[in-house]
Every structure is written in structure tokens, then in C-alpha cells.
A and B are shown apart, each in its own frame.
Chain A
Amino acid sequence: MKKEVSPWIAIVGILVTLTVVMVVYWQGLLGGDKLAFGPGDNKSGGAAGGGEEVEQTGPVVTTVAGRPQQGYADGPAAEALFNGPSGVAVGRDGSVYVADSRNHCIRKISRGGTVSTLAGRNVKGYADGSSAGARFSAPAAVALAPDGSLLVADTGNHRIRRVAADGRVTTLAGSETPKDDIGRPMGGRRDGAAAEAQFRYPVGLAVDGAGAIYVADAGNHCVRRIASGQVSTLAVSGGEMDSPTELALVGDRLWVADTGAGALWVGPKTGPLARRPAPAEKKGAEAPGALSGLAAIGDDVYAADSGNQCIYEVAPGRLSPVAGSVGAGGYADGRGAGASFSSPAAIAAGPGDSLYVADFGNNCIRQVMLEEGR
């Protein structure tokens, strides 16, 4: 037998149901996204993952030129394109010089923020001559000489080149070496007169006040010195270098970043160089990934780590991260660990307690303002 329901009971039932649904909705009990937040979560935009917002501290990292896109374009810094910048140097006037390795040329960033090609063009080769006529092969490092000229580690040609202020290029050291079966010069190892000497993948440079040049000869696993037109090899003690890639002079002492061994070598600038104990062996120290860049500001030494994607301050027995999130590569400007790099290959000291970084993987030049983090 069918029993009729009073319309009043039905209306009240519907209203109660609607009220319950609205209460549930307003309490945020519907919808998976809202359930993901717990009490105390910062809903106004915290750190990724829904955690608490952490205010980043430390040096400020900005992009000076280029952007995370490979290419070759001169012009205003924000529109310029690089392809694998792997060396950087800063002139007395604040101009920044870049070894643009995969574009096979040397770029200049003026103080006004304009990028131009100082020497070579986007063509691989070997030729001395005018700015436009000179050719390089994957140059990996640049350094300024006391006379104002720019020295270039022309890695693929296994030579050290000099670029005058007007862009004219000459060969300072190194000579022709046999080619392998696919036409690549193999490099060699020979000390003696600069014009006859041979290198194998020179990738780092430093110059002292007297004009002596120090070369990280990665393929020969050693450091070479060019002085008075002669090339010699610095002695080492306590082992053998693996792949030295960058150098820095701190007073009369030479520091060497050995990327292959994840170690630093330090000693008098005429040698012998001794291997420093690996910081990772000491309690509380950071373990280096692949130390690739070195720079000194006064007596303070900084290192770029292309493996750990960060910039360290090097203290006795310890590496302290100053910029970049250790182990997490990427592209982000910001403060301290809030910034990120992608295989920072080289660093150079700039004016006002700053570091310039050749951010190889991001194809741009970054600046770390250390004083703003202190």
C-alpha cells in the first residue's frame, strides 16, 4: 500500500539537505585541493609543496646578460643570447668578458649593458687576425693581463690567444698538433719556447701582476706557466692532478680547482702545489661535486661547483654555500639558496664585492652581490 508524504516534510527535508551541503562546502570539506592544506598552512603563496614560506637570505643573484635559451645574438643584455658560456673575466672599467664556447667566440658586456662580439664569430676554426676574421674553437676561459689585453684559453685549438683592445687576435703560446681520424687536433705536451709549446685542452687561466700566465692544462692533468716567452710545468706534491679546470691567485699563492678529483690544490705560484684535504672528509663540511670555477676577493676564495649547482665560499676545511641550492639545478634569480644555477662553469671577481658567474647550462651570465648578503 502506497503511503503519501506530506509536502511540508519534503520541503523541510530538501532545505536541511541544502544547508548541510552548503556548510560542508564552506568548511572546505569538498574538493581535494583544499584538503591538501593543513592547519597553519600559508595560503597566500608559500614555498612549493604547501610548506611554510621561508624568507630567503644571502647574497642577491641576478641575471646580467642572456636568458635560458641557447643561441647567438648581440644587443641589449636581456635580449642577447649565448651558447655554453664557460669562462668569465671582469675588466677594470667594469666590462665583462665571456668565453662563449659553443659559439666559438669572445663576447663583451659593456657597463651600459650591451653585448657585443669582441673577437671571432659563430664559426669554429683557427685564425689570427682582426676581430671579425679571427677564429677560435670552443674557448673555455678568459683572463685580463696587466697591459689590458684579454687572454683566451682556446681549448679546441690547444693554444693560448691574446685579444687586443681593438679585437685583434694573436697566438701567445701553443703550436699545431696532429689530428685524430675525425679531424680534431689532439693536443700535446711540450715545454719550451711559447711558439713551440703544446697544450692539451687548456681550460683555465690566471695572470699575476708581473704578467706571468698560469694555465690549467686539463688534458695533460697539470698546471703550466708562461713567463718570459717560455712554457714550463708546475710541480705538484702529494699525488697527481686529475682534471684541473680553473685557477685563482691569492697573493703569491696559486689555487687550482681539480674538477675530476673534486679537490683543490694550493701552493706558491711557482710550485710545488699540494692537494688540500677534501672538505668532505671533515665533519660538517659540504662535499664538493665538481669544483669548476675559482675567484678571490681579497683573501676570500670562492668556488663554483658545476656538480652541486652552487657557489661556495672556501674556508679552511670547509665549503660554505653562498648562492644556489646545493644539488638542485635550475634557473632562478633570488637570494642565497633561493637562486639556482645550471652547471656554473666559472666565476670572476667583480667590483663592489660581487662575483660574475658563467652559468653554462642556462646560457647566461649571472651576478652574485656578496655585500648584500652580509
Chain B
Amino acid sequence: MPLNPVAAAGRKNRTAAAVIVLLIMTGLAWLAHRESGRPRVLARAEGQVTAPTGQAGAVAWIEKGGSGGDRVMIARRWRGTKQATSGGEITGVALSGRQVLVARWEEGKGGELTAVDLGGGKQRAIAVVKGRTEQIAAADGVVAWLEERPAAIPAAPFVTAAGAVTVVRSVPEQTGQPSIVAVLEVDPLAGRTARADLLGVSGGRIYWLEHHGRGEAATSVIRRGQSTGGAAVTVVSEAGIQEAVLLDGSLAWTCDSPESASSSYARAVKSLSLPEGTSTPSLPDARGRVIGDWLRRDIQLFGSGRTAYVQDTELLWRLGSQRGEQRVLYSGPGNVRTAAVIGDEEYMVQQEGKRSAIAERPLTWWARVRHLLRG
């Protein structure tokens, strides 16, 4: 059958186009592969940079000790890095949609929580804070934070009535009155003010990790409370929890390895799907499943989206939903450690004398391509 010259030319063009696309894809893949281990510096700063926080596509951090005082910086995908707000002592920051939430503190006067619009820089006070606030989280229209109230008689920690407390508070993000979610007594001899870590907000509930006791008697529990107040519920109670993260639909936490003969040798990471509404005071069967095991004692746990990550001094691992799915993302000398994992990027902070630098490193192929295109 004779070949139609027009059809033949079209086929040639399509073949050529396919080859070009294939070449571009191969080139991108190769470049992305080459790019894989290279952190990209987002900003350099005078003074100290705190651990970044944020959501996919936007990251915020605090720069402290610079010549112009404290300031909040924000880096948005494709939009570069800019200052969101500055002034006073800034102690906490969180991102929620198009707002950055900022905690300020002045010794002797107290402080406030403000929401700063990312577009116009407009500020609006959302709550007065009576204690120093370093941990803020926001989701589902709820802002939650931890306030540290110091001991009334600091010289006498045995006067427990006057002891330090950590207050879990919340407020609707748009407008409303702040609520007290829980008041946590601080171990008077623990030597640390904050004995709780705010994990985040999910489904209108606030999750936090509490540490109790010292030494061998130390225990930790993950609890949650309604943003409108009421009795808090224990979600996870297990010895040896050091860190925990709230993921989309689940919790993950570090604990002693169940397989190691010596509990002090190796660590494991467990995960538990977020239990749905319950009025029971505790969920004793909530033991969680192991998603990572035989990890080093000094691991740090991070979470982003539905995924948990751990880093030891040499390796950054991505954990799966089951034991055995853990995968090394990067290995190398541990002089620059992970500070956060947000979206599909790893963020690192490095202090060099009085200066700091914050850098991001892609964790997925698409993130590598993005890095390439942004130069």
C-alpha cells in the first residue's frame, strides 16, 4: 500500500517531537539526579535563625539578634524570600493559609499573638498572652499555643502550689475568645520550664506531648483536647517517648525498640491513626504499629503531610506506613542537620559565628525539577 506523504511527514514530526520530549525528560532527570544532594541557600542572616515552620510551598522562620531586632522571614515557592514582620522580641511563629501567626513577648508586661497578612502585611491581634509562647500551631480555623507561666516562688521549687505551669490555649483563627484547653503542672525539679511539646491541630482538636517524672521513672503521654475546652484525653501512653509529630490523619512517635534486647540500644518509630471522636478519658489500646526500627538512639523525628522522617547523625530516612519500608534519602557527614521537613523539602539551619544560613534540599524528583527551574 502506497504511503501517504502527508501522513508520513506527520508521523516523522510526531517521532521527532517524541524524541525531543524524551531527550528533555532524560536531561531533566539527569539534571535532577545531579541536583539531588545540593542544598539551596534561602537566606543568610545576622544573628540566629530558629527552626523553620510552615506548609507546602511556604516556609517561615525567626531571625533573632540582628541589628534591626527580631524579624519574621517568609519564603514562598516562586515568590522568593521577604520579611513578614519585625519588632519586639518574637518568640514563636506559625503559618496558616495566607497568614503568619506571630507571638511577641515583653518581660514584665506580657505579650500578644498577632496574625499578619502575607499579602499586605496588615496585622491583627488575636489574643493576649500572659506567658512566654514559643510553640504555635494552626489548622482548620483554630490557632493553638503553649504558654509557660513561671513559678511564683522560684527559689523554692518544693512549694508546688506556686509552681510553674504550661497552659495549652486556643482561639478561633478569625474572631473569638481564647479558651484554656489544659493546664499542665511542670515537674518542680525537672530543671526545665516547658515539659510539653505542641504537636498540632487536627479536626478541631489540639494534640500535645507531655513529659512526666525524671530518670528511670520518666513517662510521656500524647494527649488531645477540644479547642473549646473540656477534659483532655490521653491518646498514647508509653515509656520512652522522646518526640512525636502530628501527620495528616495519624500520629508518629519515637520509642524504645521493641525488638532490641536492651531498651537503651535502639529506637523505633510507631504510628497510630488518629482516633475519631470519643469521650473516654483514655484509649489504653492505642499502642500504635512500628513503622521504623533499629534506629540510633539520637534520632530526630520530623513529619510532613502523611510521611514521617527521621535523621541520625549521618542519615535522613523516609518512613513508610509499615515496618521495613524505611528508606535512606541522604547520607553524609552530619555537620548540617535537618531542622524541619516541610512539604517535599528538607530545611537546614547552619550557625557560623554570629551569622546563620537557612537552606532547603529537595526530597522528591518533582522538588528537584522545581529547584532546577528556579535556578
Our pick among A156, A182, A361 for the contact of B167 (Cβ within 8 Å) is A182
Interface of chain A, main secondary structure: loop
- How distant is the Cα of A86 from the Cα of B161 in the complex, in angstroms? 11
Contact B158 A342 (CB under 8 A): no
Residues 154-183 of A, flagged 1 when their CB comes within 8 A of B and 0 if not, give 011000000000000000000000000111
Known: A155-B162, A182-B183, A201-B162. A290 touches B189 (CB 8 A): no
Contact B159 A218 (CB under 8 A): yes
Known: A70-B213, A84-B160, A86-B160. A182 touches B155 (CB 8 A): no
Task: Closest B residue to A137 by CB, please name it.
Answer: B161
Our pick among B149, B161, B183 for the contact of A140 (Cβ within 8 Å) is B161
Task: Closest B residue to A345 by CB, please name it.
Answer: B158
Our pick among A155, A181, A243 for the contact of B161 (Cβ within 8 Å) is A155
- Chain B residues positioned under 8 Å from A86 (CB to CB): 158-160
Interfacial residues of chain A within 57-80, with CB under 8 A of chain B in the complex: 69-70
Task: Closest B residue to A344 by CB, please name it.
Answer: B158
- How distant is the Cα of A173 from the Cα of B156 in the complex, in angstroms? 23
Verify if B180 is at the interface (C-beta below 8 Å from A): yes
Contact A242 B155 (CB under 8 A): yes
Among A138, A182, A203, A292, which residue has the most Cβ atoms of chain B within 10 A?
A182
22 contacts between A and B (CB under 8 A): A84-B158, A86-B158, A101-B161, A102-B160, A137-B161, A138-B161, A155-B160, A155-B161, A155-B162, A156-B161, A181-B180, A182-B149, A183-B180, A203-B156, A218-B153, A218-B156, A243-B156, A306-B158, A343-B157, A343-B158, A345-B158, A361-B189
- Chain A residues positioned under 8 Å from B160 (CB to CB): 84, 86, 101-102, 138, 140, 155-156
The chain A residues found within 8 Å of chain B, CB to CB, are 69-70, 84, 86, 101-102, 137-138, 140, 155-156, 181-183, 201, 203, 218-219, 242-243, 245, 259-260, 290, 292, 306, 342-343, 345, 360-361
- How distant is the Cα of A306 from the Cα of B156 in the complex, in angstroms? 8
B interface size (C-beta, 8 A): 20
Minimum C-beta distance from A326 to chain B (A): 18
Known: A69-B217, A101-B158. A201 touches B188 (CB 8 A): no
Task: Closest B residue to A68 by CB, please name it.
Answer: B217
Contact A243 B155 (CB under 8 A): yes
Interface of chain B, main secondary structure: loop
Contact A243 B158 (CB under 8 A): no
- Chain B residues positioned under 8 Å from A219 (CB to CB): 152-153, 162
Interfacial residues of chain B within 180-225, with CB under 8 A of chain A in the complex: 180, 183, 188-189, 213, 217
Verify if B241 is at the interface (C-beta below 8 Å from A): no
**Known pairs A101-B161, A360-B189 / 6 extra A-B pairs, C-beta < 8 Å:** A69-B217, A138-B159, A203-B156, A342-B189, A343-B157, A343-B158
Our pick among A70, A201, A361 for the contact of B153 (Cβ within 8 Å) is A201
- How distant is the Cα of A12 from the Cα of B215 in the complex, in angstroms? 58
Verify if B100 is at the interface (C-beta below 8 Å from A): no
Among A181, A242, A260, which residue has the most Cβ atoms of chain B within 10 A?
A181
- Chain A residues positioned under 8 Å from B341 (CB to CB): none
- How distant is the Cα of A275 from the Cα of B156 in the complex, in angstroms? 19
Minimum C-beta distance from B338 to chain A (A): 35
Task: Closest A residue to B182 by CB, please name it.
Answer: A182
Contact B162 A218 (CB under 8 A): yes
Contact B156 A290 (CB under 8 A): yes
Verify if B44 is at the interface (C-beta below 8 Å from A): no
- Chain A residues positioned under 8 Å from B297 (CB to CB): none
Minimum C-beta distance from B369 to chain A (A): 50
Our pick among A84, A102, A260 for the contact of B155 (Cβ within 8 Å) is A260
Contact A201 B165 (CB under 8 A): no
- Chain A residues positioned under 8 Å from B157 (CB to CB): 306, 343
Minimum C-beta distance from A365 to chain B (A): 14
- How distant is the Cα of A83 from the Cα of B153 in the complex, in angstroms? 19
Minimum C-beta distance from A260 to chain B (A): 4
- How distant is the Cα of A137 from the Cα of B167 in the complex, in angstroms? 19
Verify if B296 is at the interface (C-beta below 8 Å from A): no
- Chain A residues positioned under 8 Å from B165 (CB to CB): 182
Our pick among A182, A260, A342, A361 for the contact of B156 (Cβ within 8 Å) is A260
- How distant is the Cα of A102 from the Cα of B159 in the complex, in angstroms? 10
Contact A360 B217 (CB under 8 A): no
Contact A343 B189 (CB under 8 A): yes
Verify if B371 is at the interface (C-beta below 8 Å from A): no
Verify if B130 is at the interface (C-beta below 8 Å from A): yes
